[in-house]
Amino acid sequence: MQKHTQLFIDGSLTPARGTQDLPVTDCYTEESFASYRSASSEDVDAAVIAARHAFDAWSATAPAARAAAVRRVAAALREQAEALTTAISREVGMPRKLAARIQVGAPLSAWDAYADLADGLEWESRIGHSLVQQVPVGVVACITPWNYPLHQITGKVAPALLAGCTVVLKPSEIAPSSAFMLAEAVRQAGLPAGVFNVVHGGGADVGQALVRHPGVDMVSFTGSTRAGRQIAAQASADIKRVALELGGKSAALVLPDADLAAAVKATLASCMLNSGQTCSAITRLLVPRHLLGRAEELAQSFLPSYRMGDPADGSTRLGPLVSQAQQRKVQSLVEEAIAAGARRIGGADEPPRHGFFVPATVLSDVTPQMAIAQEEVFGPVLCLMAYDSEDDGLAIANGTAYGLAGAVWGPATSHTLGVARRMRAGQVDINGAPFNPLAPFGGFRQSGLGRENGRYGLEEFVEPLSIQLPPGFADLPVQ
């Protein structure tokens, strides 16, 4: 087992002063394959101080130079693509073939894409006699989850650095490997000391120390709504800026004249991706009541393709969940739903002898009042629900505490688009349209605050500053 006892602070690896070694578990073998030493409060303080010291020079660096530095980081990360894929697949359980493309390939491309966007951002503009600058918010604490570790790190760290912010990253203690590989890429890329720092540990100690630190100007967090609520409350003591990307209970609304087979197949794929451990997964499929039986038949026919097995096996389509605790939580919610009147569609395959598996599960006769129709499961469980009218379907789709994602299935008409516009979610796709990394990503209500991706992700880390110009300054060039 590899033991890591160092953090990345002020441009170099430094021994962690915490006392706890936190294991990282292979969720298929159920064995620990690495451990990382937790940071102490002194380590957190050192990392924030380093970021604060580095801020003035980094924020004054020309945007083009910051973009060039980010591209060097991307190039150094690409050299570690195989190692990243292996580590993330073992930590999270996503089949390796998918992990290479989704967990690693997409984030690597995003580093360069963010740099391109920064090159085109209007950093200064004129409004009448005012010069409006986009200036970095300051020192940013980035706290990231385990389900898409490198993806979520990239969505915060890359735009923050490009905006001119300095960063202290606390990755999930469950899936930290990619964060430390990123630290090595930052070192190879030659970023100034203190611009990027990594501390390790749990949310209750290291995470809270970061959120409460007076030297932190902004907290960008992705995780559960429960933890996001706590972070927002803690950050409010110092009026820190907060960006939160939280939970979801997203629905696909199938209109009566839609392609039902395509809707069921695509919604299952969304729900089962990463074994359901995706905040924006479509986990409720809403169909007209007279089509419920046909939807059940289709779902049952597609379920056998979600073969469980070793994530390293190319034929595996459904990997294990991240932990035994997550496995038990999902199993408990399914059992509770069945006890409340839901029906399991199709027989569940026998899972492998080891690994934190939950078989691909479709439940029908789910009503909006059931816990499984309201709570984020974070497992491979799709709720099949019937509606009686379009307004009824929209009420069910919008009838949770969340509003992260959604989908509409129907003919290519203005009416279908109109239904999509009525969904209260941060992103809605029609007829399986693919994810767009340049479009804003984030949610309504308890799904969070702010947006990631594209220029919207960059703008989360800047503040507008207005300089009122007297006569005689009007002809100065805008940078």
Q: Which of 279, 376, 383, 460 is catalytic?
A: 279
Per the structure block, which two tokens stand in for 325? Answer: 């605790």
141 in Cβ contact with 168 (< 8 Å): yes
3-state helix, strand and coil shares in percent for the chain, rounded to the nearest 5: 45, 20, 35
246 in Cβ contact with 448 (< 8 Å): yes
333 in Cβ contact with 371 (< 8 Å): yes
Q: Which of 245, 296, 452, 460 is catalytic?
A: 245
Q: How far apart are CA 282 and CA 346, in angstroms?
A: 20
Identify whether 245 is a catalytic site residue. yes
Identify whether 279 is a catalytic site residue. yes
Q: What secondary structure letter does DSSP report for 209?
A: H
377 in Cβ contact with 326 (< 8 Å): no
Residue 37 amino acid letter: R
| Residues with Cβ within 8 Å of residue 138, at least 6 apart in sequence | 55, 165, 166, 216, 217, 218
The SS3 of residue 32 is: strand
The SS3 of residue 110 is: helix
CA 429 to chain centre: 18
| Residues with Cβ within 8 Å of residue 37, at least 6 apart in sequence | 3, 4, 5, 6, 7, 15, 16, 18, 20, 21, 22, 200
Catalytic residues: 245, 279
